[in-house]
Amino acid sequence: MDWGFDNTYVRDLPGFYRPWRPGGSPAPELVVVNDELALELGLDPAWLRSPDGVAVLSGNSVPDGAEPIAQAYAGHQFGQLSPMLGDGRAVLLGEVVDKHGDRRDVSLKGSGRTPFSRGGDGKAVIGPVLREYLMGEAMRGLGIPTTRALAAVTTGETVMRRGREPGAILTRVASSHLRVGTFEMVRLHGNEEQLRQLADYAMARHYPGLDAGDYAGFLSAVVSRQAQLIAAWMSVGFIHGVMNTDNMAISGETIDYGPCAFLDVYEPEQVFSSIDAQGRYRYSQQPAIAAWNLARLAETLLPLMGGDAAVDDATGRVEAFFDEYGAALAERFKAKTDSPADSLLSRMHADGLDFTNTFRELQPEGNPIYIPRNHLVEEALAAAARGDYAPFQQLLELVRDPFSERPGMERYAEPAPAGFTEGYLTFCGT
């Protein structure tokens, strides 16, 4: 099959990646294909399910026109700079222009070690792979910008994580994999010309309305998309869980679903991630962290914006995040409820009410009924680990269309069982 690859990143940004082939899978088995997304990309879902298709999805063959690479990036993880991260377990196959004319990256996540794997095994396991699949489709259903999964396969390997778990590969589709951490990498290890190359590339790909060379405008445009994105997350009770700068996409899509989760009861200080002991990435903190990440982006752009003389301008552009976020959030809550949001939220907090269901009960038009609730996600992933994908498929179907109530599906709209949320922890699965 002709994928129609057209690989601008490889062509335009030499030195920002390493050519690398996926490691391959000993006994791949298809778990799920995203028909709708395949068609959007101009791919034949039936071919993706065929042995030739599964060979690509499992890293056993590289399609014509693909130029597989591991991308380099740096990042601040939990506030600490990691000067070189990069794709440690992902390979970008290439870029496809979809039916709407939008350029999309197609990458394999969990396809084995790369030059950036550091101590890791380069693999992924079925639970986190299907969690990412579900979460991306749920976000998409909610109308929130996100990377999406094209497919998931098991590899036939057993991988050690919290126990022995089935190895798996997610095929991820993203507007791009440019991250704040990509800019940090070039600022740290590259020269000004390379920084300009990267910024020009990102502007042309994601902000084509900007004038060439308007790097200040670029910063503001990224700030603006993030303000909209975080407001959207907050309005549905989504906690990303690991908002490191390498997990913030320049495109404004939600990316890198790891220990993410949706709120059950409304608890603004909620932390689910097992690795977030300080609560740095708790629900209430997400806007402040986004602005902090954007300040790291601004620092990288300073040489292009006029150096030290541009510090005040750049600072102002980052601080504009809060006004724009505030306005976007107010807009979101106005659409969710006629009640004043602040007093409603404090009552919900005081009474320990379920976030999603409270809004749905107050206003069924517009508020979602089906979200990937933690207990349902865990139930689906546990079944999948035993080879039973039916609960995953059922939950997937509901969260892809979260506003339409389906008869007989009442249990999917119920809050978490008593006591579930208190002890609930999410894991990166890396």
User: Which string of x and - marks every residue 110-129 that binds ligand AMP (by CB under 6 A)?
Assistant: ------xx--xxxx------
DSSP 8-class letter at 195 = H
Token couple for 373: 């609730």
Contacted by 166, from ligand AMP, Mg ion, none: CB < 5 to 8 Å by type = none
Question: Least CB distance from residue 128 to ligand AMP, whole Å?
Answer: 9
Report the alpha-carbon distance of residue 188 to residue 181 in Å, rounded.
Answer: 10
Instruction: Pick the binder of ligand AMP from 33, 85, 216, 395 (CB under 6 A).
Output: 85
What separation in angstroms does the CA of 424 have from each of 126, 128, 168, 306? 19, 16, 24, 48
Quote the distance between the C-alpha of residue 108 and its chain's center: 14
Cβ closest to ligand AMP, residue 40 vs residue 132: 132
Q: Is 156 in the site for ligand AMP (CB under 6 A)?
A: no
Cβ closest to Mg ion, residue 4 vs residue 145: 145
Cα end-to-end distance, the chain, whole Å:
32
Contacted by 123, from Mg ion, ligand AMP, none: CB < 5 to 8 Å by type = ligand AMP
Contacted by 122, from Mg ion, ligand AMP, none: CB < 5 to 8 Å by type = ligand AMP
Pairing of strands 17-19, 29-33: unpaired
Of 48-56, 256-264, 287-295, 372-380, which part binds Mg ion (CB under 5 A)? 256-264
Cβ closest to Mg ion, residue 19 vs residue 120: 120
Question: Least CB distance from residue 357 to Mg ion, whole Å?
Answer: 31
Of 31-39, 81-89, 171-179, 392-400, which part binds ligand AMP (CB under 6 A)? 81-89
Q: Which residues contact 28 (CB under 8 A, 6 or more apart)?
A: 54, 55, 57, 58, 60, 153, 154, 155, 156, 169
Cβ closest to ligand AMP, residue 235 vs residue 247: 247
Phi, psi of 207 (to 5 degrees): -135, 60
Residues 394-413 within binding reach of Mg ion (CB under 5 A): none
Q: Are 82 and 74 in contact (CB under 8 A)?
A: yes
Binding residues with ligand AMP: total (CB under 6 A):
17
Q: Which residues are catalytic?
A: 246
Cβ closest to ligand AMP, residue 79 vs residue 213: 79
Cβ closest to ligand AMP, residue 182 vs residue 356: 182
Instruction: Pick the binder of ligand AMP from 88, 115, 217, 391 (CB under 6 A).
Output: 88
Please give the sequence-ordered ranges of beta strands (E in DSSP) within 316-371, or none if there are none.
none
Contacted by 86, from Mg ion, ligand AMP, none: CB < 5 to 8 Å by type = ligand AMP
Of 107-115, 157-165, 254-262, 293-301, which part binds Mg ion (CB under 5 A)? 254-262
What separation in angstroms does the CA of 61 have from each of 116, 396, 421? 21, 28, 43
Q: Is 256 in the site for Mg ion (CB under 5 A)?
A: yes
Q: Which residues contact 30 (CB under 8 A, 6 or more apart)?
A: 49, 54, 57, 151, 153
Q: Of 253, 86, 91, which is closest to residue 175 (Cα–Cα)?
A: 253
Q: CB-based burial of residue 56 (10 Å sphere; 0-12 exposed, 13-18 middle, 19+ buried)? A: buried
Binding residues with Mg ion: total (CB under 5 A):
2
Contacted by 117, from Mg ion, ligand AMP, none: CB < 5 to 8 Å by type = ligand AMP
Question: Least CB distance from residue 23 to ligand AMP, whole Å?
Answer: 11
Cβ closest to ligand AMP, residue 92 vs residue 413: 92
Cβ closest to ligand AMP, residue 224 vs residue 244: 244
Question: Least CB distance from residue 394 to ligand AMP, whole Å?
Answer: 27
Q: Is 86 in the site for ligand AMP (CB under 6 A)?
A: yes
Report the alpha-carbon distance of residue 114 to residue 41 in Å, rounded.
Answer: 27
Question: Least CB distance from residue 250 to ligand AMP, whole Å?
Answer: 15
Question: Least CB distance from residue 430 to ligand AMP, whole Å?
Answer: 3
Cβ neighbours around 266 below 10 Å, total:
23
Q: What value, to the nearest 5°, has the Cα angle with vertex 255 and ends 143 and 40?
A: 55
Residues 236-265 within binding reach of ligand AMP (CB under 6 A): 242, 247, 256, 258
Residues 234-253 within binding reach of Mg ion (CB under 5 A): 247
DSSP string over 38-96: HHHTT--HHHHHSHHHHHHHTTS---TT---EEE---EEETTEEES----SSEEEEEEE
H-helix or E-strand spanning residue 250 = none
Binding site for ligand AMP (CB under 6 A): 85-89, 116-117, 120-123, 242, 247, 256, 258, 428, 430
Summarize as ranges the residues that interact with Mg ion (CB under 5 A): 247, 256
